[in-house]
């Protein structure tokens, strides 16, 4: 027996209190953990890719529990794309800024011409800024791929 | 269909296993993959970047181009998924 | 005979990767369902990742995160730190794999929307009879 996606949605349209409460309690910790993974990429296993995926997973979990339209109230689609573009622009912008300041492309030590601290410390800080850009890009693209995939491009309700 | 696929798989696997005879022994610190540029990374990365996690140092600094176009790849993947799925004329 | 067994035991990581690669390769060329082909490609990719990471292993080596003060003074034994380069390359390869899987699933959704099936021969039949 074949059922349409609309009928399937009607069957599971009731809300589950246990599921929603659990997700509501877990999401802040997951997002905090994602930020921790990005920020501690210098001292422990982690970095932009991993932290970005964890942050994206938190919103995907929200969308699974509360429905896709509810998740779009918290992260609107235009904001999502703006953050994705900002992440890519942070990375390429810092790389190009290094070239404009007279160094090599992606050589963060010349950023010491802007803020005079140790050039080798600037390499560390430059890596951190770049990781933040990577995390923003990965997070938003993961959410975007989930939205499109779950609702087959309609962005209405999905799974 | 099934039998030629199985034969091709087995031939490929046999060739790959024959090729492993020339590979380095597992866990050998002096093997070719472990003895060229990575020695410089392990010894000098912390001095040159002040990042204790060498993987992050290589990812963000030494191989920054790789990571940058990595981000471009995943960005393009997101845009491609949007472009493929959000066309409405055939539904 | 003992020489062959010793050879296999010394290089068992390559055997694991070859077996995984054969599973993925067979799924890619032998199966007719497109989702199964994609799963085969993911298994293939996992075997490549395993292969690269295993080439960087060192017996008794620890993770490539160093003590900062010791490393600044040059007190690092290279033989006791795992090669970090394959880890970096495979980190990016995993992300590329996720992107490829996403795009492939999106294309499959479109194919299913147009032809109503994901079996390769049925799709070919429908294309030919149109």
Q: Tell me what pLDDT residue A10 has.
A: 62
A69-92 burial by CB neighbour count: b if 16+ within 10 A, else e? eebbeebeeeebbebbebbbebbb
Using the predicted structure, report yes or no on whether residue A100 has a pLDDT greater than 60: yes
Domain assignment present for A68 = yes
Q: Return the pLDDT at A84.
A: 93
**CA-CA distance, C125 to C70, in Å (whole number)?**
67
Burial class (CB in 10 A: 0-12, 13-18, 19+), B26: middle
Say what the pLDDT of residue A9 is. 61
Q: Looking at residues C103-125, what average pLDDT do you find?
A: 90
Q: Find the mean pLDDT for residues B26-33.
A: 84
Chain B residues near residue C56 by CB distance under 8 angstroms: 33-34, 38
d(CA A104, CA B2): 54
Structural domain of A127:
5-150
pLDDT at residue B59 is higher than 80: yes
Query: Tokens 């938190």 label which residue?
Result: A58
The verdict on residue A155 lying in a domain is: no
Q: Is the ipTM of this complex over 0.90?
A: no
Cβ atoms of C84 and B43 within 8 Å: the answer is no
Report pLDDT for A145.
92
**For residues C109-119, average pLDDT:** 89
Question: Of the ranges A35-39, A140-144, B47-51, which one carries the lowest mean pLDDT score?
Answer: B47-51
Q: What is the pLDDT of residue A159?
A: 62
* C:22-41 residues touching chain B, CB 8 A cutoff: 22, 25-26, 29-30, 32
Write down the H helix ranges in A40-108: 48-66, 68-74, 77-100
More confident residue, B25 or A11: B25
Q: What is the pLDDT of residue B22?
A: 83
Q: Are A18 and A102 in contact (CB under 8 A)?
A: no
* Domains in chain B: boundaries: 24-91
A29 within a domain of the structure (yes/no): yes
Q: Which of the two residues, C5 and A91, has the higher pLDDT score?
A: A91
DSSP SS3 for C119: strand
pLDDT over 60 at B28, yes or no: yes
Mean pLDDT of C39-51: 93
Q: Using the beta-carbon criterion (under 8 Å), do A127 and B82 form an inter-chain contact?
A: no
pLDDT over threshold 80, residue A13: no
Residue B56 confidence (pLDDT) above 80: yes
Q: How far apart are CA C57 and CA B20, in angstroms?
A: 16
Q: Over range B53-64, report the average pLDDT.
A: 89
Query: Average of pLDDT values for A30-38?
Result: 94
CA distance B55 to C64: 7
| pLDDT for position B23 | 85
Whose CA is closest to C15, among A108, A7, B13? B13
pLDDT at residue A103 greater than cutoff 70:
yes
**Residue A158 included in any domain:** no
Which pLDDT band, with edges at 50, 70 and 90, does B9 fall under?
very high
What percentage of chain C reaches a pLDDT higher than 70? 100
Name which of C65, C94, C105 is nearest A44 (Cβ-Cβ): C65
- Could you report the per-residue pLDDT of C18-42, keeping only the tens digit for each? 999 999 999 999 999 999 999 999 9
Domains of chain C: 2-56+80-129 (1.10.287.3510)
Residue A33: the pLDDT is 94
Domain count, chain A: 1
Q: End-to-end alpha-carbon separation of chain B, Å?
A: 34
> Which positions in chain B have a beta carbon within 8 angstroms of at least one beta carbon in chain A?
47-53, 55-57, 59-61, 64-65, 67-68, 70-72, 74-75, 77-78, 81-82, 84-88
Residue A123, pLDDT > 80, answer: yes
């Amino acid at each position: 027996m074949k059922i349409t996606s609309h009928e399937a949605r009607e069957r599971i349209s009731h809300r589950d209190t246990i599921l929603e409460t659990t997700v509501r309690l877990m999401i802040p910790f997951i997002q905090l953990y994602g930020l921790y993974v990005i920020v501690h990429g210098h001292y422990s296993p982690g970095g932009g890719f991993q932290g970005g995926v964890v942050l994206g997973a938190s919103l995907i979990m929200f969308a699974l529990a509360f429905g896709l339209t509810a998740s779009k109230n918290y992260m609107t689609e235009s904001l999502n794309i703006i953050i994705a573009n900002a992440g890519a622009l942070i990375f390429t912008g810092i790389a190009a800024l290094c070239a404009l300041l007279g160094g090599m492309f992606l050589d963060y030590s010349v950023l010491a011409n802007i803020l005079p601290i140790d050039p080798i410390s600037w390499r560390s800080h430059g890596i951190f800024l770049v990781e933040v850009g990577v995390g923003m890009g990965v997070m938003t693209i993961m959410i975007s791929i989930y939205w499109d995939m779950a609702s087959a491009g309609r962005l209405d309700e999905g799974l | 269909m099934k039998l030629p696929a199985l034969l091709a798989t087995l031939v490929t696997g046999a060739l790959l296993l024959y090729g492993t005879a020339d590979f380095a022994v597992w866990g050998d610190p002096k093997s070719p993959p472990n003895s060229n540029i990575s020695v410089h990374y392990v010894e000098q990365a912390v001095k040159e970047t002040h990042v204790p996690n060498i993987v992050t140092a290589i990812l963000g600094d030494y191989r920054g181009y790789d990571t940058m176009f990595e981000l471009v790849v995943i960005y393009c993947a997101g845009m491609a998924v949007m472009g493929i799925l959000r066309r409405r004329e055939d539904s | 005979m003992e020489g062959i067994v010793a050879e296999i035991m010394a290089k068992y990581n390559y055997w694991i990767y070859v077996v995984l690669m054969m599973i993925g390769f067979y799924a890619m060329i032998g199966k007719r369902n497109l989702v199964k082909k994609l799963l085969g490609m993911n298994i293939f990719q996992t075997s490549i990742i395993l292969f690269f990471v295993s080439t960087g292993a060192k017996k008794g080596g620890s993770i490539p995160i160093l003590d900062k003060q010791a490393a600044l003074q040059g007190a690092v034994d290279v033989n006791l730190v795992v090669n970090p380069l394959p880890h970096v390359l495979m980190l990016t390869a995993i992300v590329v794999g996720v992107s490829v899987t996403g795009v492939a699933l999106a294309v499959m959704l479109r194919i299913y929307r147009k032809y109503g099936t994901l079996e390769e021969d049925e799709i070919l039949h429908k294309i030919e009879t149109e």
